[in-house]
Structure 1
Amino acid sequence: MYNVSSSPHVKAKMTTKSIMRDVIIAMIPTSAFGIYNYTNLFGIKYGIHSALLILITVISCVAAEYIYTTITDQKITIFDLSAVVTGMILALNLPCTFPYWKAALGGVFAIIIVKQLFGGLGQNFMNPALGARCFLVLSFAGDMTAFYPKDIKEIDAATSATPLTALKNAGESSASLIDMFIGNHAGTIGETSIIALLIGAAYLVIRKIIDVRIPLTYIAVFAVCIMLFNQSSDPVFLAQQLCGGGLIFGAFFMATDYVTSPITKGGRYIYGICLGLLTAIFRTFGANAEGVSFAIIFCNLLVPLIEKYTIPRAFGIVKQKGGR
Structure 2
Amino acid sequence: MFKMTSSPHTHSSNLTARFMLWVIAAMLPAIAVQLYYFGVGVLIQIVLAASFAYALELLVTLLRRKPIFFYVADFSVILTALILAVAIPPYAPYWIILIGTFCAVILGKHVYGGLGQNPFNPAMVGYVVLLISFPLQMTSWMPPISLLHEPPTWNDAISLIFNDLSSDGYSLLQLVGTIDGISQATPLDSIKSGLHNQQSLNNILHSPIFSHGRWGNFLGNGWWQLNLAFLLGGLLLLWKKIIHWQIPIALLLSLTLLSAANWLLAPQLALNPLAQLLSGATMFCAFFIATDPVTASITPKGKLVFGALVGFLIYIIRYYGNYPDAVAFAILLANISVPLIDHYTRPRVYGYRVNNLNK
Judge same fold: TM > 0.5, yes or no: yes
Question: Which residue of the partner structure matches residue 25 of structure 1?
Answer: 25
- In structure 2, the partner of 1:16 is 16
Looking at structure 2, the residues matched to 102 and 289 of structure 1 have their Cα atoms a distance apart, in angstroms, of 20
Q: Whole-Å Cα distance in 2 between the matches of residues 66 and 10 of structure 1?
A: 24
AA aligned opposite 2:343: K
User: Match of 1:185?
Assistant: 221
Q: Deviations over 1:116-141 (max 9, x none)?
A: 01010000111100110000111111
**1:158 deviation in Å?**
5.3
Instruction: After superposition, give the CA deviation of every residue in 1:241-285 in whole Å (9 maximum; x if it has no partner).
Output: 111101110111000000000110000111011111111110111
Question: Sequence identity, in percent?
Answer: 32
1:262 and 2:297 are equivalent in the alignment: yes
Deviates more, 1:11-20 or 1:286-295: 11-20
User: Which range moved further: 236-245 or 57-66?
Assistant: 236-245
Contact 1:65 1:78 in 2 (8 A): yes
Give the TM-score normalised by structure 2.
0.79
Number of matched pairs: 312
1:184-210 per-residue CA deviation (whole Å, 9 max, x = no partner) reads: 7367xxx86122112211111111101
Tell me the residue number matched to 1:226.
259
The alpha carbon displacement at 1:212 in A equals 1.3
Mapped contact 2:139–2:185 kept (Cα < 8 A): no
Would the aligned equivalents of 1:147 and 1:186 in 2 still touch at CA under 8 Å? no
Is 1:70 the counterpart of 2:62? The answer is yes
Who is 2:287 aligned against?
Answer: 252
Task: Name which of structure 1's ranges 129-138 and 198-207 shifts more when overlaid on structure 2.
Answer: 198-207
Counterparts of 2:14 and 2:210 in 1: how far apart (Å)? 41
Output the amino acid matched with 1:59: S
Cα distance 1:14–1:212, how it changes in 2: closer, same or farther (>3 A)?
Answer: farther
Deviation sequence 1:9-53 (CA, Å, 0-9, x none): 789997001000101101111112211211xxxxxxxx2222110
Query: Is 2:53 the partner of 1:61?
Result: yes
Alignment gaps of 5+ in structure 2: 143-171, 196-200
* CA distance, structure 1, for counterparts of residue 221 and residue 46 of structure 2: 19
More off after superposition, 161-170 vs 83-92: 161-170
Q: Does 1:150 align with 2:185?
A: no
Q: Report the Cα offset of residue 165 of structure 1.
A: 2.2
Answering whether residue 148 of structure 2 is matched by residue 124 of structure 1, we say: no
Cα distance change on mapping 1:209 and 1:12 into 2, 3 Å: farther
* Whole-angstrom distance in 2 between the partners of 1:11 and 1:113: 25
The answer to whether the 8 A contact 1:180-1:193 is kept is: no
Distance 1:14 1:208, change over 3 A: farther
C-alpha contact 2:259 2:271 (8 A) present in aligned 1 = no
Contact 1:194–1:248, Cα closer than 8 Å, also in 2: yes
| TM-score normalised according to structure 1 size | 0.87
Cα distance in 1 between the residues matched to 2:335 and 2:34: 27
The equivalences for 1:1-324 within 5 A come to 15-38=15-38, 47-76=39-68, 77-148=71-142, 149-152=172-175, 153-156=177-180, 159-168=183-192, 169-170=194-195, 171=201, 172-173=204-205, 174-175=209-210, 179=215, 185=221, 193-230=226-263, 231-232=265-266, 237-320=272-355
Q: Is the 8 A contact 1:192 1:244 kept in 2?
A: no
State the distance in 1 between where 2:259 and 2:338 align. 24
- Structure 1 gaps, min length 5: 39-46
